[in-house]
Amino acid sequence: MDPKTSSWFAEQHKKALDLWFTEQQTKNMKISLRVKQILHREMTPFQSLAVLDTEQFGPMLTLDNIIQTTVRDEFVYHEMITHVPLNTHAAPKKVLVIGGGDGGAVREIIKHQSIEKAVHCEIDGAVIEASRRFLPEISCALDDPRVEIVVADGIKHVQENKDTYDVIMVDSPDPIGPAVGLFSAEFYKDIFASLKEDGIFVAQTESPFFNRELIPDLVQSIGGIFPVTRLYLAVVPTYPGGLWSFTMGSKKYDPLQVDIAGIPPLDTRYYSPEIHRTCFVLPPFVKELLGSPK
Ligand code: SAM
């Protein structure tokens, strides 16, 4: 290439500005995404927050350099943490999301006609504000009249609200920093007390590949508190290993007993009545992790 042409200069300029975000997903594994633009960066009282526009996944929220959500793959996670429990409950009216400051879970919850109130309890108001400004595709339902935003610690919120909710979703980051308590047996007991007599709880419970000690512990704690405990899976490409787990604790309803033919149509891209059933079908290595027969 002739070094004097403008395309040569444009190419050199692009190379010089070649910007990548890298998350250390495990001690021995990293994921890197090419960044088109840094949309926002700040240090909140709780964590370092960034919104980066990436080539592969579009705008992406990170907290303490860990990917939380991206515009192109968020639908899997948000549909699966919400519609599986909501379609397991007979008539969910009042629901709580703990964490989930991006608003994706709330956007999915209000698709259900039975919902009268969705309380969104996020500890860090800066996550909500940044998501409103830079991730409108995800945060678009935060102003719905059925949504109440509470900027507070979800652990305290459930302690102060007994016998209140039909469904509680714990949309937490990884178990580090302010989120450690969101993975404890004490917290699950408080959630049990915050649910009505037929309430359901679900939490994101990390990767079956890389959290091989955490998952059996969580499932055991939840199983010691709730009569029905089920783990289910979905694929989220930007989370470590891609394969992601959710664990449901239910006082009465069993997601496997749901008549999937009766699930009302929803505007979704990953969740479907068939997925409601098949997401509970576990590969032998996950069954083994849970100590269940293969
Ligand atoms: N889907 C994401 C994932 O699995 O990586 C989680 C995203 S969401 C942005 C997690 C949110 O939980 C963060 O905004 C964080 O501030 C919030 N959070 C952490 N600890 C919390 C607590 N104790 N109470 C309420 N929210 C909390």
- Is the minimum distance from the CB of 204 to ligand 1 under 6 angstroms? yes
Ligand 1 atom closest to 131 (CA):
9
The pLDDT tens digits of the residues spanning 186-214 come to 999 999 999 999 999 999 999 999 999 99
- Is the minimum distance from the CB of 100 to ligand 1 under 6 angstroms? yes
The pLDDT tens digits of the residues spanning 6-60 come to 887 777 766 767 899 999 999 999 999 999 999 999 999 999 999 999 999 999 9
| Mean pLDDT along residues 214-227 | 96
64 a catalytic residue: no
- Is the minimum distance from the CB of 139 to ligand 1 under 6 angstroms? no
The pLDDT tens digits of the residues spanning 275-284 come to 999 999 999 9
Residue 62 has pLDDT above 90, yes or no: yes
- 106 and 15, same structural domain? no
User: What per-residue confidence (pLDDT) applies to 1?
Assistant: 53
Instruction: pLDDT band for 3, please (50, 70, 90 cuts).
Output: low
Average pLDDT, the chain: 95
**Which residues are 97's β-sheet partners?**
120, 169
Read off the pTM: 0.94
User: What per-residue confidence (pLDDT) applies to 2?
Assistant: 59
Mutate to test the pocket of ligand 1, among 172, 187, 239 (most ligand atoms within 8 A of CB): 172
- Is the minimum distance from the CB of 168 to ligand 1 under 6 angstroms? no
- 234 and 89, same structural domain? yes
- 100 and 20, same structural domain? no
**Which residues are 159's β-sheet partners?**
none
**Domain's final residue, options 48, 68, 88:** 68
User: Could you tell me the CATH number of the domain that includes residue 139?
Assistant: 3.40.50.150
Ligand 1 atom closest to 74 (CA):
1
Q: How far is CA 43 from each of CA 19, 64, 65, 110, 238, rounded to the nearest angstrom? A: 21, 9, 12, 31, 23
| CA angle in degrees (0–180, nearest 5) for 61-116-93 | 95
Ligand 1 atom closest to 182 (CA):
23
Q: Which candidate in 171, 174, 254, 267 is catalytic?
A: 171
- 274 and 204, same structural domain? yes
Provide the 8-state DSSP code for 264: P
- Is the minimum distance from the CB of 171 to ligand 1 under 6 angstroms? yes
Quote the domain boundaries for residue 222.
74-289
User: What per-residue confidence (pLDDT) applies to 12?
Assistant: 72
User: Could you tell me the CATH number of the domain that includes residue 62?
Assistant: 2.30.140.10
User: What per-residue confidence (pLDDT) applies to 125?
Assistant: 98
The total number of structural domains that make up the chain = 2
- 103 and 235, same structural domain? yes
Q: How many CA atoms lie within 13 A of 250 on its CB side?
A: 20
The answer to whether residue 254 sits within a structural domain is yes
